[in-house]
Structure 1
């Protein structure tokens, strides 16, 4: 395995960009930490499912669901008496409005609780069976419709307890979503609130205000967390040295980079790598999904 990058799983779906796999269909314990180039939804109807997502341990139980966005590093830890599905979905199949909501909740709230009679549990088996059929008239359109219905129920539950749900679809919400998209694309070159405010043609003060209103945290918090998270990924999962990682993240001065890490995660880059050295060099073998 090349330890100079984090494994990215690609082309895991049917040709139409959707696939449904029952939980337990492949060996979760054999999965090394990896990224996907698509969205993945884990829907659990019973049991306990444990995974690690960007250094956070997530425990799902009974009726629940979770989404993992492209680029997030995840691995499966354990499962007990689980029934449910993995749903792999190309980003292009998700409407702009739904994508905005998923982006806004990224790294804050990505899981939902479901009732046992949720229609999600009825839709998925139909979609799964349809995907196994030979081509029928309008089959692709039916599969897309079922996928959109699943997303509607999932995102409806996701925003149910969102204190900013009344802002969804409004200008503030759209601006915050654009900020978070820009941040994922440009954090290596832009590290200040004023940089993103300039790209959005608003003031830094207003950007901080609306980001906090929608997400609960300021824009400066999200900038620092995005950089620190990618730094931890590279320090933990690759063998790049600290100077290379600093350069990869847009820092010419690796000492400044380590001071940034000390301020944001409580330890320097070298301290973080040393603390996690044994864990990061004992990843299990890669499986197919």
Structure 2
């Protein structure tokens, strides 16, 4: 069996522009990504036909017909199977997305990452971008690709927000603060584990931070900090052979006994029990 001390990371290999498109039209199109891994960049799979099953951070998703999914940088995922697929993989560097678009995807991360495609112009835009990527070497061509990509991502964002009563492009102060908070948690959860740490970074009070997170997500700031810690611990328990003590240290706990109690109080079982429960499943994808 391969060494599983690390979760594989797919590095960005963009040539020139920070976007790459891969056309999918084969029953074996996902053979190269059936093992659990992370990516440094955003991934969008826009499906025109067929069935795709995949796992993203311990949640199973099924795509039927015209749908799209997004995967944020750092999320552990793998593709389970595809049946008669037709569509496109789009790989985009984070820096290539407008801030408000990136925030939408990050704020919906681990909530619902599959959406229906209600606007067929999505497929036409992708085809246009792919054509331009194959021929464009000039500044004008790059500007065209950038404009088309902004439109493509904008349509996806609109699909996500369709039921949220948010105006296109409108980002209020609370939404912006929530996005900043969750980004800070993803970056600093190993070191900072209290809401006041993040309230200080955002120059707001802890009650106001809790008010924002509770209003917009239904959960307090502490919940989201704990979920980020638990998610990374689960990833390492499931996909690596690091010891539980090493994993506790990796997520910022010097006291393993305390980490074990924290894990059990939130997950319902100890870290060792979680690893044992998932051991057979973990071995299937390497």
* TM-score range relative to shorter protein: over 0.9
Over 3 Å counting, the alpha-carbon distance change for 1:225 and 1:61 in structure 2 is same
SS in 1 for 2:230: helix
User: In the alignment, what sits opposite 1:5?
Assistant: 6
> Cα–Cα, structure 1 residues 48 and 258, in superposed 2: closer, same or farther, change >3 Å?
same
Deviates most, 188-197 or 177-186: 188-197
**Corresponding residue number in structure 2 for 1:94:** 97
Structure 1 residue 206: Cα displacement = 1.4
State the partner residue of 1:113. 116
Q: Counterparts of 1:130-145 in structure 2 under 5 Å?
A: 130-133=132-135, 135-136=137-138, 138-145=140-147
The aligned counterpart of 1:123 is 125
Name the TM-score, length of structure 2 as normaliser. 0.93
Match of 1:241 in 2: 243
Pick which of 164-173 and 227-236 moved more: 164-173
The separation in 1 between residues aligned to 2:95 and 2:199, in whole angstroms, is: 27
Alignment of 1:180-259 (within 5 A): 180-259=182-261
Question: CA separation of 1:36/1:93 partners in 2, compared to 1, >3 Å: closer, same or farther?
Answer: same
In structure 2, the partner of 1:65 is 68
8 A contact 2:42–2:70 mirrored in 1: yes
Q: Is the 8 A contact 1:105 1:215 kept in 2?
A: no
Q: Which moved more, 1:238-247 or 1:7-16?
A: 7-16
- Secondary structure (helix, strand or coil) at the match of 2:265 reads helix
Deviates more, 1:229-238 or 1:188-197: 188-197
- 1:43 maps to what in 2? 46
Distance apart, 1:166 and its partner CA: 9.2
Task: Tell me how far 1:216 sits from its aligned partner.
Answer: 2.8
Say whether the 8 Å CA contact 1:51–1:77 is kept in structure 2: yes
Secondary structure of the corresponding residue to residue 254 of structure 2: coil
Aligned equivalents of 1:160, 1:14: Cα separation in 2: 34
Contact 2:39–2:75 (8 Å) recurs in 1? yes
Deviation at 1:179, TM superposition (A): 0.3
For the pair 1:172 / 2:203, whether they are aligned, the reply is no
Counterpart of 2:21?
Answer: 20
Gaps of 5+ in 2: none
Secondary structure of the residue aligned to 1:276 is helix
C-alpha displacement of 1:167:
10
* 1:191 shift after superposition: 1.1
The residue number in structure 1 matching 2:155 is 153
Deviation at 1:54, TM superposition (A): 0.5
- The alpha carbon displacement at 1:136 in A equals 4.6
How big is the shift at 1:168?
Answer: 4.6
> Contact (CA 8 Å) 1:251, 1:257: kept in 2 or not?
yes
> For the Cα contact (< 8 Å) 1:167–1:173, is it kept in 2?
no
